[in-house]
Structure 1
Amino acid sequence: MINLFSMFLARKSRLLRFSITAFAAFSISSSAIARKGMPVPATLSKIQKEMIAEGLDIPVSKLYNTRGTGLNNAVVLFGKGCTGEVISSEGLLLTNHHCGYGTVQGLASVGADYFADGFWAKNRNEEIPCPGLTVTFIRSMEDVTSRVLANIPLEMNEKARDSMIQIRIKALENGYRYTSKKDAQIRSFANGNQYWVMITDTYKDIRLVGFPPNGIGQFGGDTDNWSWPRHTGDFSMFRIYAGADNKPAAYSAENKPYHTADFFTINTNGYKEGDFTMVYGFPAQTQEYVSSMQLAQVVNIVDPIRIEARTRRLDIWTKHMSADRKVFLQYTSKRAGVANGWKKWQGEVRGLKLNNVVALKQREENIFQSWANTDSSAAFARDLLARMQVISASSDAALAASEHMREDVLGIELIAQGAELDRVLKLIQSMTGTSAARLNDTLAFISAASEGFYKNYDAATDKEVFAALMPLFMEKASAYVPEYFRTELARFGGSYEMWADYVFGSSAASDPVKMKGLLASGNIRAITEDPAWKLYAAIMHLKNEKVAAKLNAYNDSMVRFNRLYMKAQMMQHPELNLMPDANFTLRLAFGHVKGLDPDGDAGYSFQTDLDGAVAKNNPEVAEFKMPARLLELYREKDYGKYAVNGTVPLAFIADNHTSGGNSGSPVLNARGELIGTNFDRVWEGTMSDYYFDPRWCRNITLDIRYTLFIIDKFGGAGWLLNEMKFAPAPSR
């Protein structure tokens, strides 16, 4: 992985040099503050004038309303961590390739290698059910802050406060479920200073419709990930199925495609630099109002530990995946997930350091402190920053140890499987006196469930990871190493390879048949003598004894301090209507198509195309190996109606604020029409989870014309276009 990352850096002629302005975000730059946070769709009327001034060409009521006719009814939470959009009246759903990756891995096999060959249903009968996959619609949102927080003192004890709030939330949710006949969930916003209820529908019968091969959907792989220019056809297609009443239903062959009048019109007329754009979806998490102390922990402790451990793990996974196609299929989804964070954190640290964001935060805090010292309404905030500073500094060592345990030790899959053995052990102990038949049934269920893990596990690969990560842990977390680890390493003369040989040769967790048998047997002695359980138990015992209590106390304190700090910031600047950080709820961000030239050599633009993708084609490198059919279409210039200036537009960038969870989000033009699917951010701007700067932050979008080109000309699934609605061509 180091070599891949070096390739990425080598493509840049010079290191990016950011110009740091003398800037205090809260008091000086109101325009920068206007872009902080992500708007809740139900509050768009408050910023409608600003959006229209920026280029919006429709009323915000078309983007969101409670009448059931807003475009919020065409956006879904896809699975547990992505966004998707409905693009036909028959429930056709578009999202990212990497969002569908885990689901497709469960459907694929050596005989049905959808990663190598792709998948395209030729009719609805060929659409494949996806067990466990769900999509959730947000039908409406309502601010219930006044009902949740009524008569609760600001400085009330946190435990008592939470107890009161949870009682109120439960009662309110039940009331909304009764009146709406739908699901209802109340979520906390602005660090517990606001509460919103979401009225939702969750559909459970989702079927695979189209999935490009990796040579399109993952073209560029980790080398191009988080970077620009980009040439990845990152999309996949599914369909929502419903019961006879068009409502959510469990899978049934009798279910029908979900019917809706709310879906996105597709616009293939293109765009130009400066055009207004919007991203509608479920951004996972931003922390733009975080203190300088917490941000320093990210920059100096958390991210560097994760990067180093994952570099070692990914190097080994890549080697084994390259040597064995079976291992590739087992690890391709896992590797994509691990590598995604690995590269993102490198860009995040770099951007935060180059922008000197910790120092900028400290300037903000100095201004805040001056305000708190003199404003009579802010007496509760006068010592907030001082207390946050003390408790943050005292937690640094425990925070580092926790990250090393998670990334170094539990990054070894065999040790992580020790958790399953521990679960069985605790289950047996808790069911003492239970009938043997009930206990055996429970153990058999757990045993059968383990098959899912071993379908995607290779012991030889994991054994090498053990030999690479354990020395990292022993060296870097020396004050938090279990005595059992030290004893075992000494027993093998300090050789991590010999230690790995013993562990993987002796543990049932390294073999699916042995593990299944051990889980089903409930043999307490065999479990407690298994090396995987011993390693897991030892690290968890030390974590619980020396780390967890300190971190729990720290986190509990920071929950309170962050709530009060956020409340104080809202009081400090009531005129700015500060938007809450992302929290995996529906948001709409807006910006403009805008190029980026991070090296200052005028080498990059706002758009890429198929010509640029083919120029990267390299059959010797899996990440850059294009399918033969796509190369054939290129040679013959067989682009059909998707041709623009002798090629096919592929991707573009804009300065919309996005986060994890926005993967698969619809990217819309000024009229709310679909022009692409969001799939990434540029590396220079991955700091945006903590600090959004429109000079450098860009979201990367797959052009809808390239998506349609692949569906129609490459996949031969043009029948799908017949159910889509297209915006008319501009009059001439």
Structure 2
Amino acid sequence: MRKALVAALMLSSGVVIADEGQWQPYQMPSIADKLSERGIQIPAKQLADLTQYPMNAVVGLGYCTASFVSPQGLVVTNHHCAYRAIQYNSKKEHNYIADGFLARKQADEPSAGPNERLYITEAVTNVSEQVTKELSDDPLKRYEEIQANRKALIKECESDDNYRCSVRSFHNGLEYYLIKQLIIRDVRLVYAPPKSVGSFGGDIDNYEYPRHSGDFTFLRAYVGKDGKPAAYSPDNVPFKPKSYLKINADGVKAGDGVFVAGYPGSTSRYRLTSELKFASDWLYPTLAKRYQQRIDTIEAMGAQDAGVKIKYAGTLASMANRMKKYNGLLDGFKATDIAGIKQGREDDFRKWLSTDSQYQSYQAKFDQLETLLVEQRQAQQTRYFFENAQSSDLLSAANRLYRLAKEKTKPDAEREEGYQERDMKMFKARLKRIDSSFAISVDKTLWMQDLDAYLAQDNRVPELDAMLKSDDAEVSLSDKLDGLYSLTGLTNQDERLAWMDADVKAFETSADPFIRIAVALYDTNLAQEKAKKTLAGKLSKARPGYMEAVIAYYKANNWPVYPDANGTLRITYGMVDGYQSKDALYKQPFTRLEGIVAKHTGVEPFDAPQKVLDAIKAKRYGSHKVESVYQDPASWLCRLFSCLDKPESFGSVPVNFLSSVDTTGGNSGSPVFNGKGELVGLNFDSTYEAITKDWFFNPTITRAVHVDFRYILWMMDEVDHADNLMGELELVRN
């Protein structure tokens, strides 16, 4: 019987409909038929309107996604997205990473840290013409003109200090959109489960399935008493969002249509085969090797020092995730021959170019682009070790501070992005944040590794070599670095912040060793930056021409056309569905509470809290128990595909589930909606086989992994008794 259901579900997702696409909201009406086929009932026009429910409840964190779930500014996201906020509030005497945290009342909600922000996208406007009109043919001037046009649009948009605006490139410079976002600057920690729930299974289970992770955390947005965004203050009050998500306490079943809204970071689906091969042959192996070395180092030092372990917890989790993703990409390239698939499509594209009279001239642009990409790859390999050789947090701060002094000699409009007046609050917050994730011993050890790698290769920079050289032959590089750390004042937050107001002369006459290195390397860094900009100027002509032809080719083949992910708000749709994995096993779409007990060993990362184990063993399911996660035989799916005669018994609380939605990094924390637009889960991962979707979407194996909101409610209700928060949520039933 199960095979019949599996076949039906696989057929429905793998053959009939391919759920590819990270769509801009305005595109929703153009795919209304596809949404309807998936059983998504909420009108496409409503999804395209950022002022309406549910899109006006979806927010960005700058690196993840979140959503409002109460009229009092309560926000839900992933545990790993809020990890730095949890770390920021963790101390040896109260380790919220290990023990979890729950504020029983709003007065007990601590700041999530000076860098935490919520970004509410209110408007997205096509400004392609304003950005690209009358550009110079000179590559560097062209780049600078594009930046000047972008900055002018941003300045006009940010006439109100409460807004943050950006101009993003879509389709590799073919289009530009102005994004206007309200910034919430006072974000507080409300409720986080212990790490043994939030990342149950740890790196071992990362990108794997079945999963049993409670990857959720609640934050709250605060504003001034006037209702406007403000910096942290005890007098601030909860933000009142324009809308907040209704939560469907009955959740979803296999075969149900779902959609996800969020801020996916980046994909490379329109990149050339040569770019994929470079990533596969050099870039990803090189990055993965460095991440693994750094992970091993931090873990070893953290095992010896609890303070180090807490300070670098967020850094370690981020690096481990990236490292495993790179390895997953490399494995995926080998298993599926994505390079071969892309090359075949590229060959077909070239044939199409030669036969389509309108686009025959684009062949030369294609060839020119390939030439520029060779230049780009060579430059990246040349700069790689020198850039890493500046990885010390203190040297990085010194570099930014000296650059700020230089930029402040220019009119604000002419300054480099990141150094304008609009950037100063975040610049200052970033300098402050160093203290919460920095230890001299770790910084020195990691920097030493990068310096050793730099010294072992040929692309050396005399200015850096001179700063590392000691007059005494018996003084080792390690001894030299010890001297730098002992003599610098940049370990002191007040001194770091004071440098923000210093002029260029103060830097150039400073005796601080990190400041001296920053001054010595400035011209080299600036020259390399100029070379990058010149190449970017060349690519700003070549890429859009190529993309124009590629889009026409895709449309001729009736393939979906949407921009690569770039950190902007997108919507993707699909269905709750399992898949056939690489080991020939069918992965069921839902996991149960009992799987936590089965995996529990008592040893990290499979060390579930005793209170969770007790509740499961006592079958204390409350109102969150689900008898079946499969379709009723009378449903449309079963009428169409002949499912089971009787739904299989589930008899537990769902923990995680799979769907065919098209997500990537940055979609972490994204709300998962049912067809009515009600919240049913949080996106937090992808399956290992699906990692390569950043380059190529394969509908038969591409699955996203979500926390089932029924599990979140169970944790709040039956385990942690977060009655105060449960009372804020609007729960609905089918």
Q: TM-score range by the shorter chain?
A: 0.7 to 0.9
For 2:210, the equivalent position in structure 1 comes to 229
Structure 1 position 98 matched with structure 2 position 103 = no
Does the residue aligned with 1:582 lie in a helix, a strand or coil?
coil
Measure how far apart 1:596 and its partner are.
Answer: 3.1
Aligned residue among 129, 134, 139 for 2:122: 139
Are 2:196 and 1:215 equivalent residues in the alignment?
yes
Which sections of structure 1, spanning at least 5 residues, go unmatched?
Answer: 1-28, 431-444
2:316 is matched with which residue?
335
Question: Paired residue for 1:697, among 698, 702, 717?
Answer: 702
- Aligned counterparts of 2:246 and 2:317: Cα–Cα separation in 1: 31
Aligned to 2:399: 419
Cα 1:492/1:212, change in 2 over 3 Å: farther
- CA shift, 1:468, in A, is 3.9
SS, match of residue 387 in structure 1: helix
- Number of the residue aligned with 2:625: 643
Letter in 2 for 1:139: E
Of stretches 206-215 and 591-600 in structure 1, the one that deviates more from structure 2 is 591-600
CA contact (8 A) 1:290 1:562 kept: no
Q: Distance in 2 between matches of 1:186 and 1:518?
A: 31
Map 1:164-563 to 2 at 5 A. Answer: 185-244=166-225, 246-260=227-241, 262-407=243-388, 409-413=389-393, 415-416=395-396, 419=399, 452-475=433-456, 477-480=457-460, 482=462, 485=465, 498-508=476-486, 530=513, 548=529, 551-563=532-544
Aligned equivalent of 2:23 = 39
Against the structure 1 CA distance between its residues 295 and 249, is the aligned structure 2 distance closer, same or farther, given a 3 Å change threshold? same
Query: What amino acid is aligned across from residue 626 of structure 1 in structure 2?
Result: A
Q: Verify the 8 A CA contact 2:127 2:178 in the aligned structure 1.
A: yes
| Alpha carbons 1:229, 1:604 under 8 Å: kept | yes
Separation (CA, whole Å) in 2 of partners of 1:298 and 1:196 = 28
* CA gap 1:188/1:122 in 2 versus in 1, 3 angstroms: same
Aligned partners of 2:144, 2:507: CA distance in 1, in Å? 39
> 701-710 vs 50-59, which deviates more?
50-59
Cα deviation 1:151-206 (Å, max 9, x = unaligned): 769x9666676677667767766777789x97765533222222334444332333
Q: Give 1:668's aligned residue.
A: 673
Aligned-partner SS, 1:688: helix
Do the aligned residues in 2 keep the contact of 1:418 with 1:536 (CA within 8 Å)?
yes
Q: Is the 2:38–2:256 Cα contact (8 Å) retained in structure 1?
A: no
Shift of 1:332: 0.3
1:513 and 1:166 map into 2 onto residues whose CA distance is 34
Q: CA–CA distance in 1 between the matches of 2:149 and 2:409? A: 37
CA shift in 2, pair 1:224/1:614, >3 Å: same
1:622-672, Cα deviation, whole Å (9 max, x unpaired):
x22222322222333323222334532111111211122111100111221
Structure 2 counterpart of 1:220, one-letter code: G
Tell me, in whole angstroms, the C-alpha distance in 2 between the residues paired with 1:166 and 1:556.
Answer: 10
Q: Please report how far the alpha carbon of residue 676 of structure 1 lies from its aligned counterpart in structure 2 after TM superposition.
A: 0.4
Pair 539,299 (structure 1): closer, same or farther in 2 beyond 3 Å: farther
> Quick check: 609-618 or 650-659, which moved more?
609-618
In structure 1, the partner of 2:567 is 584
Residue type matched to 2:452 in 1?
P
Change (3 A) 1:156 1:209: same
Going from structure 1 to structure 2, the CA distance change for 1:491 and 1:345 (only over 3 Å counts) comes to farther
Q: Corresponding residue for 2:721?
A: 716
Determine the C-alpha separation between the residues in 1 that align with 2:532 and 2:507: 32
* Structure 2 counterpart SS, 1:322: helix
Whole-Å separation in 2 of the counterparts to 1:508 and 1:585 = 43
| Structure 2 SS opposite 1:241 | strand
- After superposition, the Cα gap between the structure-2 partners of 1:102 and 1:77, relative to the gap in structure 1 and judged at 3 Å, is same
**How has the CA–CA distance of structure 1 residues 263 and 635 changed in structure 2, closer, same or farther, with 3 Å as cutoff?**
same
Q: CA deviation at 1:137?
A: 1.9
Structure 2 distance, partners of 1:564, 1:571, is 11
User: Could you tell me how far 1:457 is from its partner in structure 2?
Assistant: 2.1
Q: Which amino acid aligns with 2:341?
A: L
Which stretches in structure 2 are left out of the alignment for 5+ residues?
1-13, 411-425, 627-649
- Which residue does 2:594 correspond to in 1? 611
TM-superposed CA distance for 1:456, in Å, is: 2.6
- Show the counterpart of 2:10: none
| Matching residue's letter, 1:52 | S
Assess if the C-alpha contact under 8 Å between 2:57 and 2:242 holds in 1: no
* Mapped pair 1:55 → 2:39: yes
Deviation, 1:74, is 1.1
* Count of residues in correspondence between the two structures: 675
Aligned to 1:632: 614
Distance 1:428 1:388 in 2: 36
Are 2:508 and 2:516, in contact at CA under 8 Å, matched by a contact in 1?
no
The structure with more helix, counted as a fraction of residues: 1
Q: Percent identity?
A: 28
For 2:596, the aligned partner's letter is A
Is the counterpart of residue 596 in structure 1 residue 579 in structure 2?
yes
Verify the 8 A CA contact 1:142 1:196 in the aligned structure 2: yes
Classify the secondary structure of the residue corresponding to 1:385.
helix
- Deviation by residue 1:567-614 (Cα, 9 ceiling, x = unmatched): 111233445461111121111001122223423342632222222222
Contact in 2 for aligned 1:306/1:342 (Cα 8 Å): yes
> Residues 423-446 of structure 1: CA distance to partner in whole angstroms, max 9, x if unpaired?
69979999xxxxxxxxxxxxxx99
Separation in structure 2 between the aligned mates of residue 218 and residue 318 of structure 1, nearest angstrom: 17
Q: Please, which moves more after superposition, 219-228 or 302-311?
A: 219-228
Residue 162 to residue 395, structure 1, CA distance change in 2 (3 Å): closer
Q: Which amino acid aligns with 1:77?
A: G
TM-score of the aligned structures, taking structure 1 as reference length: 0.82
Counterpart among 51, 60, 71 of residue 89 in structure 1: 71
Amino acid at match of 1:595: G
What's the TM-score once normalised by structure 2's chain length? 0.81
Task: Tell me what 1:620 maps to.
Answer: 603
Using the TM superposition, give the Cα deviation of residue 710 of structure 1 relative to its aligned residue in structure 2, in angstroms: 1.6
Deviation at 1:707, TM superposition (A): 1.0
SS in 2 for 1:97: coil
Aligned residue for 1:377, secondary structure, equals: coil
- Partner amino acid, structure 2, of 1:663: S
C-alpha distance 47-516 of structure 1, shift in aligned 2 (>3 A): closer
Deviation at 1:319, TM superposition (A): 1.0
The CA RMSD over aligned residues, in Å, is 3.9
Shift in CA distance, 160/424, structure 1 to aligned 2, threshold 3 Å: closer
Using the TM superposition, give the Cα deviation of residue 321 of structure 1 relative to its aligned residue in structure 2, in angstroms: 1.3
Question: What is the CA distance between 1:367 and its match in structure 2?
Answer: 2.2
- Assess if the C-alpha contact under 8 Å between 2:66 and 2:671 holds in 1: yes
SS at 1:112's partner residue?
coil
Residues 504, 598 of structure 1: alpha-carbon distance in 2 compared, 3 angstrom cutoff: farther
The equivalences for 1:554-573 within 5 A come to 554-573=535-554
Q: Counterparts of 2:165 and 2:430 in 1: how far apart (Å)?
A: 31
Partner of 1:139, secondary structure, is: strand
How far is 1:73 from its partner?
Answer: 0.8
Task: Name the CA shift for 1:364/1:268 in 2 (closer, same or farther; >3 Å).
Answer: same
- Change in Cα spacing, 1:551 to 1:561, as seen in structure 2 (3 Å) is same
Equivalent position SS for 1:373: helix
